[in-house]
Amino acid sequence: MTVLAPQLRTRIKFCGLTRPEDVDAAVAAGADALGFVLWPGSKRALDEQRLAELSERVPAFVTRVGLFVDPNLALVARAAEHLDLLQFHGDEPPGTCMAVGRPWIKALRMRDGLDLPAAAEAYRGAAALLLDAYRPGVPGGTGETFDWSRIPASLAKPVILAGGLTPDNVAEAIAAVAPFAVDVSGGIEAAPGVKDATRMAAFQRAVRRADDVRCGA
């Protein structure tokens, strides 16, 4: 087995977990980060009690990420007690993202005309930018890809690639974009909010194979 330099190992984030058994399966499959949706409009939404229950199952060194869409900051502050990283999916300005004083990432939906270098500069306080497909009125979890060639070869922030990834297309995505991390929700599900352990494991294997190809193993 090839051991990759840390910067070449594509990190994996599984998003939209709602069930304890899915948290356990995601960790077993080798996820680096788990996403919990705290936007009530989502089919994958958690309330604070459920977030606390799921968060407790996550072992050290797996990052717990909370997803928000134009949230009330009091909710963010309470939820942050159970989280390592905040992910903002709405139209939050940088000041909102940093208001709670915790590490954060900004999701950018790839609408026509989005100027990524300018966004990277505007959100320079972010730990990373998550690039996702754009569908009007849907803040995330569309299950749709976007044109990966729109992502510049170098950006001032690490890129987390999201949007319509699956065990079947993630290798192609990694070859095209060489992102810091990949993020998937619908592509590892049996139904919205119900993860499929077999698909999570297949996704992880596909990422590792793509990394081997990248390093010429």
Structure tokens at 159: 């890129």
Quick check: is 22 catalytic?
no
Tell me: does residue 167 bind ligand LARABZUK (CB under 6 A).
no
Which of 180, 169, 165 has the alpha carbon at shortest distance from 209?
Answer: 169
In contact, 64 and 85? CB cutoff 8 Å: yes
Structure tokens at 74: 């009091």
Task: Name residue, tokens 């979890």.
Answer: 141
**For residue 117, what is the enclosing H or E element?**
helix 116-122
Name residues contacting ligand LARABZUK, limited to 12-41 (CB under 6 A). 15-16, 35, 37, 39
Which of 156, 165, 215, 150 has the alpha carbon at shortest distance from 4?
Answer: 215
Tell me: does residue 69 bind ligand LARABZUK (CB under 6 A).
yes
Q: CB nearer to ligand LARABZUK: give 96 or 212.
A: 96
Among 71, 139, 167, 179, binds ligand LARABZUK (CB under 6 A): 139
Provide the residue count of the chain: 217
Quick check: is 15 catalytic?
yes
**Nearest distance in Å: CB 176, ligand LARABZUK:** 16
Structure tokens at 62: 């797996």
Catalytic residue among 22, 70, 112, 132: 132
Structure tokens at 57: 């199952």
Among 94-102, 120-128, 138-146, 206-214, which window interacts with ligand LARABZUK (CB under 6 A)? 138-146
Q: CB nearer to ligand LARABZUK: give 39 or 100.
A: 39
Please give the backbone phi and psi of residue 84, each rounded to the nearest 5 degrees, phi first: -105, -25
Note the residues at the interface with ligand LARABZUK (CB under 6 A).
15-16, 35, 37, 39, 42-44, 67, 69, 89, 132, 139-143, 162-165, 183-187
Q: Which sequence positions are flagged as catalytic?
A: 15, 132
